[in-house]
Chain A
Amino acid sequence: MAFNFNWSPLAADEDFYQRARDLLTTALNKSPKPPIIVDDILVTEFNLGSVPPDLEILEIGDLAEDRFRGIFKMCYSGDAFLTLKTRVQANPLNTYLCSKPSFTSPQPLAAASGLTIPLQITLSEIKLSAFIIVVFSRQKGLTLVFRNDPLESLKVSSTFDSIQFVRDYLQKTIEVKLRDLMMEELPAIIHRLSLRLWCPDQAPKDGDELKEDDKEGAINPLGTPPLDAVDAKGHLLDPSELSSLSLDGGPEMQSLFSQKNLEQLKALLSSHLTSSPDSPTLSESMYRAWAGVSDKLDAGYTTPATPNLGRSSSFQGSTHTYTFSDADSQHQGFSSSRSSMVNLSQATAGLSLGSGRRSMAGRKKKNRVVNLRRSPGAGSEESSEMGDSSTTSDMTSTASEALTTETILEEPVDIDMAAAAAAAAASAANKVRFRPSPDPIQPRKSLETEPREALPNQTVPIRLAEKPVQGGPSKDKAEQRSSEAKSPQRPGRPRSDTSSVILEQAWIMKMAGEIARRVYEEKHRNPGFWDERDEREEAPPAYEAS
C-alpha cells in the first residue's frame, strides 16, 4: 500500500492560488475588525513554496475507494509565505473614541483627527508540527482537523520592523490570530474546497451549512407511513400504493394524515416548547408520563381493549393488533428488548411467507411513537427500538396481506397470538434474565466484550429465520413459541450496525484525544524528546497497545 501526495502540481496551478487568496481574504474579513484596522484586509501574495511537508501515517481507521480516515503527523518547515495588506489608524485617540459612547466623549477638537497608514505584513518561515485527522468521503468531502496547536514558530515582517515595540506586538498578535485561523477557519476552507472539487452538486451556496443541518433535522413523514393509511374517500390504501406516494404527491397525500390531528399535535408541541400555561389535550391518547407501575404489571399480555398497549383497526371485518409496548420496554433490559424484537419480526416473517423481509426487519426504521418527552440516555433508545419492532411487524403483516389473500382471515389471529407469545416471552425474560443483561450506560464494558460475543449471537436470528420459512404458514405455534422462548434466554449482547459506527467513532475520538494529551504532556516534560523521537522508526508508544 502506498500513498502518493503531489505537492508541486498543487502549487503550479495558478487558479488554485487565486481561489485560495479569495477564500483567505473573505475569511479574514468575516469577523468584525478592531477600530485600529480601517480598511479591508487583502491577501496580496500567497505561495505554498516548493518544500512539501513531512507526513507520517500514524493510523488508518477506514480505507475504501470512496472513503478514507486516518491520523497523520505533519511537520513543515518550508518556504511558504503570505502577504497581507491593510490600512491602520495611527492615532491612538481616534481608536479610543471609536468604541466609547458619545455622551461621555471628551470631544476633542482636532486631536483625534485620523492618520491612516498602509500596512503590509509578510508571514514567512512558518514551522508547523501537528497531528492531523483526515476524514474523506466522496459524498461529504474532505474534513481535516488539527488535534493540537499546529503552529510552532513564524516570522512576521512588516512595514514597522524598525520600531521594536510595534514589531513585537504584531508578532504576538498575529501568532494568536493564526492559531485561531488554523484551528477553526482552515478546516472549513478545506472542506469547502473539497466539496467544490469532488461533489459540485453539493458545492457551497451561501448558507449551505444551515441547510445541511435542516436536512438532517427534517423527518420525511412518508418514511414512516401510518398504520392504517386511508385515501381521501376512506378506502384503505395498499402498501405498494403507499410506497409510490411521494411527499409532493398533491392533495391526496395531505389527506392521509388528519389535518386536525396534526394541528393538535403541533399545538401540543408548541405549548411544551413555549411553556404556555395551557396545553391542549388529545383525546384517546396515552402520554408517556402517565405510564406508571400498573402499566408495567399488565405488560405481559396484550388485549385489544388496552388503549395504550394495543392499537386496533378494522380491516375487512377482522381485527389485528400491533403491540406498542412502550411501558414495559422502559423496564426491560437493553438486550432483552432487542432480542424480543428480533424474535417477533422473525415470527411474523415466518407466518407470512415473505422473502427478504428479514432485511427489512434489520433496517433502521423511524420511530412511530410520538415522543413528546425527550428521555435521556438508554431509555429513549430502547423505546425507539421497540417502536421499530412494532412497525416491522406491521409492515410484514400488511405485505403478507397483499401477497397471500387466501390466508387473510386466519393470519391476523396468528399475528395476534405471536405477539402475545412474544410479549409473554419478553415478560419471562424480564424475570429470568435481568441479572446478566449488561448495563447499557457503560459502553466501554460492552465495547471490550463485544467482539467475542457478538459472533455467536448474530447467528441466532439466521437460524431462527430458516425454521419458519421451511415450516410455512401452517407452522406449529407451540414449537414457534418454544423457539421464541429460547432465544431471549441466550445471554447475547446484540448490537446494531449504527451503534457500532457510533461506538467506533467515539473510540477513535477518544484515542485521538489521548494521543494529543500524551504528546502535549511529553512535550512539556522534556522538549528534547520530540526531536529525538523523530529519528526512531517504531510507532509512538500511544499506538503500541492498539
Chain B
Amino acid sequence: MREFMHYITNAFYSATGWNDDNTYKELNATARELIDFPIPLGLRLTLSSLATPHFATSYQLGSVGVVDGSLSYLHASVPLTGVAAQSDRIPLPALLRSYRELHDLGAFLASNPAGGAKLLPLTPRRPSLLYGRLYLPQALLEGLVVKRLSPALQVQLSAVSDQSLRNGGTLLGLIQLDRGRYGVEGLASSDGGLLGVRGLYNFGGDTNTTTTTSSPSPERIYGRFSAGAELYYGTLNKSGGASLGARFATLPTHRGTPLTATLTINPLMGNINASYAVLARDYCSLATRMEFNVYSYESEWAVGVEWWSRRRPAGFLLGALPEEGDEQGGVGVVVVDDTEKAEMKKWERSFQAKMEWRLDEPEPVVESPVVEGERAVTGQERYLGVFKARLDQNLRIGLLWEGRVKSLIFSIGSGVDLQRLDEPFRNLGLEVQYSS
C-alpha cells in the first residue's frame, strides 16, 4: 500500500503535470513493486485527512513490541481539489496497483516537438510542496521540499535529522529535468559527499511523432524503448558506482497484453538484472526477475503475482469463486445491481475468449475510448481488494492482502519461510488506514 502522503504527493505531481515516471530511478518500478512489495510488520493504524485542498495531515500509531508513532504534515501550494482522499472513495488501483502504465508522451511531444521549455503554463507561478514527519519515540525528523522552478525543472530537497546519524542528520538535494524525450537528474548528498547523475532517453513508439497518427495494428506490439545510465561518486570516501539500463514497455494504446521488460547491468560489480512484468488480465499481473553476477556466479530469481478481486474480503479469504458466489447467491449479502451484473457478464465473456487465446477478438469496450474510460471507472469501483504474493530462490514466500472493508483500508501480510518449516511464519502484520 502506498502511504497516504505518498498518494497525496503523487496527486500533487499529476496536478502540476509532472511526469514522475520519466526518470532512470523508476526504470524497473513495475517489477520492483510487484515483487518487492512491503509487508506490514506488527499493528499499524493510520489516520489521515486532506483537511483543506492545500493541507494534509497523517497520524500513525504502530506497535511492534514497543509503541511508536509518527505525525506528518503536508502543504501544497496547488489546490488538490479533484483528489479523492476519503478512504471510502479513494480509488484502490491508484493506491494499490503495482503495474504502472507509461504516460503517453505523444500529446506531450506533439504540443512542442522541439522540446522547448514552456510546455504547459503552470497555474501558480512556482508550485511547491512541503512535507514534514516526526517519528516520536526516536525523535527522528524527516523533511521534504519540492519546488517546480519551470515546467521542465523541479528541485527536491529531503533531509533527515536523527541523533544516531553521524552528523546529526543528512541532506539530499535532487534536481530533475524532464523534457519528455529525455529526463536527467543530478543529486548531491551531504553523507559522504555523494554526487550523482542519472539520465533516461526514450525512443520508438510514441516518441516518433511521425508514426503517432497511424493507429497501430493489433498484432504488432506497440511500445516505447528507454535507455539510461547512472553514475555516483563519493567525494569523501572516494568510492563510486555506476549502472546501465534499458526498458521496453507497451503504451496504453497498445491493444494486446501490456508488458514491461527491463535489463540493467552494473559493469563495475558484474551484476546483470533482467525483469519481465505483464498485465496478463485486468485483474492479474505477473512479474519475474533474474539476477546474475558474472564475477561471483551468484544468481537470484524471484516471481511475484498480483490478483485483484471483486468479492468481499471474507468471501475471498474463504476461497469461494466470485461467479459461484454471485450466481448461487450463497453469499448473497452483496447487492449487485443490474448494470454491474452486465459488466460482469461482459467481462466474463472476454475472459472466456482470452482463455482460448483469441486475444484479438474485438471487444466492445475497447472500441471507443469513452466506453473504455467508463469501464475503467466502473472497474475501479468494482474491485474490493487485491492479493499479492511473491516467491524467491530461498523459498521465502510473501503474502499480502489489501482491500477495503466499509470505509477502512486494510493491509494484512505475512512472510513465510519454507526452508524452516518448524516456524514458517517470519513476520505478520496488519495495517489499517482511514482517511477523510
Contact = CB atoms under 8 A, between A and B. Distances in A.
B191 A104 contact: yes
Contact of A113 (B25, B198, B273): B273
Contacts of B170: 100-101, 104
A101 B264 CA distance: 25
Given A92-B239, A106-B194, A113 B266 contact: yes
**Closest 10 A-B residue pairs measured CB to CB?**
A111-B241, A92-B239, A110-B243, A93-B241, A110-B264, A113-B271, A104-B172, A115-B269, A111-B243, A101-B160
Contacts of A104: 158-160, 170-172, 189, 191
B234 A107 contact: no
B436 interface: no
B310 to A, nearest CB: 34
Given A100-B170, A106-B187, A109-B243, A115 B296 contact: yes
12 contacts: A93-B241, A100-B170, A101-B140, A101-B165, A103-B142, A104-B171, A106-B189, A109-B27, A109-B245, A110-B264, A110-B266, A111-B230
Contacts of A107: 25
A112 B158 CA distance: 20
A86 interface: no
A113 B196 contact: no
Contacts of A417: none
Interface string A187-205: 0000000000000000000
Interface in A104-139: 104-117
Interface string A72-98: 000000000000000000111100100
Contacts of A109: 24-25, 27-28, 198, 230, 243, 245, 264
B271 A106 contact: no
Contacts of A103: 142, 144, 158, 160
B164 to A, nearest CB: 10
Interface string A161-180: 00000000000000000000
A93 B298 contact: no
B356 to A, nearest CB: 39
A64 to B, nearest CB: 51
B215 interface: no
A447 B165 CA distance: 52
B162 interface: yes
Contacts of B291: 113
A96 B234 contact: yes
Given A91-B269, A113-B269, A115-B296, A108 B237 contact: no
B243 A91 contact: no
Interface residues of A, number: 22
A110 B159 contact: no
A91 B231 CA distance: 14
Contacts of A91: 241, 268-269
Contacts of B142: 101, 103
A101 to B, nearest CB: 4
A107 B243 CA distance: 12
B287 interface: no
Contacts of B264: 109-110
A109 to B, nearest CB: 6
B243 A108 contact: yes
Contact of A93 (B232, B245, B270, B296): B232
Given A92-B239, A115-B293, A116-B296, A110 B245 contact: yes
Contacts of A114: 269, 271
Contacts of B158: 103-104
A117 B296 contact: yes
B53 interface: no
B263 to A, nearest CB: 10
A11 B189 CA distance: 54
Given A101-B160, A104-B191, A111 B171 contact: no
Main secondary structure, interface of A, reads loop
B177 interface: no
Band of interface residues on B: 35 or more
Contacts of B165: 101
A108 B232 contact: yes
A130 to B, nearest CB: 35
B373 interface: no
B205 to A, nearest CB: 21
Interface string A495-516: 0000000000000000000000
A114 B292 CA distance: 10
Contacts of A117: 296
B160 A92 contact: no
B204 interface: no
B172 to A, nearest CB: 4
Interface string B129-161: 000000000001010100000000000001110
Nearest to A116: B296
Contacts of B242: 111
Interface string A231-269: 000000000000000000000000000000000000000
Given A110-B243, A111-B241, A111-B268, 20 more contacts: A91-B268, A92-B234, A92-B240, A96-B194, A96-B234, A100-B170, A100-B191, A101-B160, A103-B142, A103-B144, A104-B160, A108-B232, A109-B198, A109-B245, A110-B266, A110-B271, A110-B273, A111-B243, A113-B269, A115-B293
A270 to B, nearest CB: 24
Interface string B31-58: 0000000000000000000000000000
A112 B159 CA distance: 21
A93 B195 CA distance: 12
Nearest to A112: B241
Candidate in B192, B231, B269 with the most chain A CB atoms within 10 angstroms: B269
A93 B239 contact: yes
Candidate in A92, A103, A110 with the most chain B CB atoms within 10 angstroms: A110
Nearest to B174: A106
Contacts of B24: 109
A75 B268 CA distance: 47
B265 interface: yes
Interface string B261-294: 0001110111101000000000000000001010
Contacts of A113: 243, 266, 269, 271, 273, 291, 293
B295 interface: yes
A472 to B, nearest CB: 72
A106 B196 contact: yes
B370 to A, nearest CB: 38
Given A101-B162, A104-B170, A116-B298, A111 B266 contact: yes
